[in-house]
Chain A
Amino acid sequence: MKAKFYSGNIACAEGALRAGCRFFAGYPITPSTEIAEHMALKLPKVGGIFIQMEDEIASIAAVLGASWGGLKAMTATSGPGFSLMQENIGLAAITETPCVIVDVQRAGPSTGMPTLVGQGDVMQARWGSHGDYEVVALSPSTPEECFYMTIKAFNLSEEYRCPVILLMDESVGHTSEKIIIDDEKIEIFERRKPTDKPYFPFDENAPMACCGGGYRVHVTGLTHDRKGYPMATSPEVQEWLVRKICDKIRNNEARIRSIEEFLMDDAKLALVSFGGPARSCKSAVKKARNEGYKVGLIRLKTIWPFPEEYFEKMKDMDFLVVEVNYGQIKLEVERCVRKKVHLLPKMGGEIHKPDEIYEKIKEVYND
């Protein structure tokens, strides 16, 4: 066990190294750049490769190539870069290529507020690319979580052969504080490799034959069968393929799910939050509790797949969603509990102050 003083971004890079990431391709963009810089410093020392590509599209394409080349691979970016990466995130989904994409969110749309916080990429992380697919998105609230969640992102990515998005935000990426690295809390999932022939690289739950393994795999973004061969005019194969890539995530939501409940046992009003602002929520909840309000906090550590079943069971609860956007997670909570939920949005630039959350709790509670 050791203590370190890291920012969220550095903790994320350190987590990636610990997870076994040996390839990083990226393009500088605020507020994610420290991740690339730290990987440039550290990767050569562990026999890994760092490359600064010509843009974000090239970065994610190189990450996919490196993943098929046999390495655990990652890129880090922010909103505008994340948008550019979407087409290849779709390629990762359909070709079942493990990779980790870190999005340190800033306020948007467009160039928005490069140095300030936002959480407006929630829906983009879900369906930023075209077509039907599923991803996993995790959202850390502290630098320590950035470390552990990056490891988890790699583990899930390798286990489910899917792109995993680490949905950070500037307020977490740039917060520096003490973190405890406890080796006993770390588990690493290693990529499953095929051992038998015949081998079908795109069977359900198939291990992954990387380049040079002698399996001579064809990998295509076209609709393909279990062999990987294009079947771009077959509705049956498309049906099978889309179900496969979606259901492997949907059916495992309960396993992937990670939620922190804070003072929820007797709560009548639940705050729902994630990332940096969830910390403000915690202190607002404490203050409200001292004033006698039965309020708790549900902190989403897994954003996608969304914990539908979890929320469906709480139909009697009132909800207040606190997020640094104009109501993206709120839509999901509403969808699951099938009633109107309250929203305390911030359009970006700063996270909520505990007092303004406390005021909103009072307003909602007494309504």
Chain B
Amino acid sequence: MIEIKEHPLDKYLRADRIPHIWCPGCGLGSILNCFLHALKECKIDLDNLAIVSGIGCTGRVAGYLNVDSYHTTHGRAIPFATGLKLANPKIKVVVFSGDGDLFAIGGNHFIHAARRNVDITVICVNNYNYGMTGGQLGPTTPIGAKTTTTPYGNFEHPFNLCKVAAASGAVYVARWTALHVRRLKESMKEALMKKGFSFVEVIASCPTTYGRYNKMPTGLDTMKYYKENSIIMHSIDPNKTDIDDRIIVGKFVDIEKPTFDEMLKKVGK
């Protein structure tokens, strides 16, 4: 007989929805764990927190959190979150989604929400590919990488998400990998407490669909890769954070700017 004890983070999760659907070795488990700790340490009232996600593996995060949670259409989590936040400003709104969802189909919404400085936090789990549909090319796939739709290697220039976020007007921009759990948690805390459009990119392993084609068939291979190739460079110009042989991580932007709501109240009357 195994005695089932309560996990200290159980109250943050819809325990009746566990186990989750993510693959072995996927970075999402540890990233979600970081997020739960961030929520706990920020003492966020779970009744006043909303998670909005789009479609894909990361999109499923919304379903596991024990808060008001919205699993919306592909790419449209940010505009949904914008409406939610403006309608109910007392709610802390977090968009938790993947690179394909936020930056391919949803790219336009991302840049405009950042431009407006809508007071939401966006956490993007970047695994360099479309995991849920079986590992196709995404907007962050590195040049040369093999995916099911780039069988001869990717020849498209990828987005540097932090550069896009900074250029679009985000007031907080940081990047970590799924290996940097403590720093990631701290960054998530900062982003949650930041007023305005805050953005955290998390580079994450996807052994099942990305790793398999790119010589990192297990989660551990990817973790080793992150360990050997990540460099922490806080406050570096986001223009200099392109991902190539090395992954530059750290907090790149932390500035103050009036939010959409504040501008509305100031100018709009």
Contacts and interface: CB of A to CB of B under 8 A. Distances in A.
Interface of A: 22-23, 25, 44, 49, 51, 53-55, 57-59, 61-71, 73, 87-88, 91, 210-222, 229-230
A210 B83 contact: no
Given A69-B84, A212-B48, A61 B73 contact: yes
Contact of B62 (A44, A65, A214, A218): A218
Nearest to A65: B83
Nearest to B80: A65
A216 B67 contact: yes
A191 B142 CA distance: 49
Nearest to A25: B83
A58 B105 CA distance: 12
**Interface size range on B against A:** 35 or more
B217 interface: no
B269 A58 contact: no
A59 B108 CA distance: 13
Contacts of B90: 212
Contacts, number: 138
Given A58-B109, A58-B112, A229-B17, A69 B82 contact: no
B83 A212 contact: no
B87 A65 contact: yes
Counting chain A CB atoms within 10 Å of each CB, the highest count among B14, B46, B50, B72 belongs to B72
Contacts of A218: 14, 62-63, 69, 71
B199 interface: no
B230 interface: no
A211 B68 contact: yes
B170 interface: no
Task: Tell me what chain B mostly uses at the interface: helix, strand, loop, or mixed.
Answer: helix
Given A54-B109, A61-B73, A91-B72, A212 B88 contact: yes
A64 B87 CA distance: 10
Q: Which 10 A-B pairs have the closest CB atoms?
A: A69-B87, A65-B83, A62-B83, A65-B84, A58-B79, A66-B83, A61-B79, A220-B71, A66-B87, A69-B88
A64 B72 contact: yes
Contact of B71 (A54, A57, A67, A219): A219
Interface string B38-52: 000000001110101
Nearest to B55: A221
A259 B127 CA distance: 55
A68 B70 contact: yes
Contacts of B17: 229
B91 A65 contact: no
Interface of B: 14, 16-17, 46-48, 50, 52, 62-63, 66-73, 76, 78-88, 90-91, 108-109, 112, 260, 264, 268-269
A71 B69 CA distance: 17
Residue with the highest number of chain A CB atoms closer than 10 Å, among B46, B79, B86: B79
Nearest to A72: B87
B11 to A, nearest CB: 11
Given A57-B76, A219-B69, A229-B17, A65 B63 contact: no
B14 A64 contact: no
Contacts of B108: 54-55, 58
Contacts of A49: 86-87, 264
B111 to A, nearest CB: 8
Nearest to A59: B79
23 contacts: A44-B264, A51-B260, A53-B79, A58-B78, A58-B79, A58-B109, A58-B112, A61-B72, A62-B79, A64-B80, A66-B83, A66-B87, A69-B86, A70-B87, A88-B72, A88-B76, A211-B84, A211-B87, A212-B68, A219-B70, A220-B63, A221-B71, A229-B16
Contacts of B67: 216
A190 to B, nearest CB: 16
A22 B83 CA distance: 11
A91 B84 contact: no
Nearest to B115: A54
B63 A229 contact: yes
B67 to A, nearest CB: 6
A65 B88 CA distance: 10
Contacts of A57: 76, 79
B91 A212 contact: yes
A63 B83 contact: yes
A214 B141 CA distance: 40
B78 to A, nearest CB: 8
Nearest to B60: A230
Contacts of A23: 83, 86-87
Given A218-B63, A219-B70, A62 B82 contact: yes
A181 B218 CA distance: 69
A44 B269 contact: yes
A71 to B, nearest CB: 4
B146 to A, nearest CB: 29
Nearest to A43: B268
A73 B87 contact: yes
A124 B63 CA distance: 31
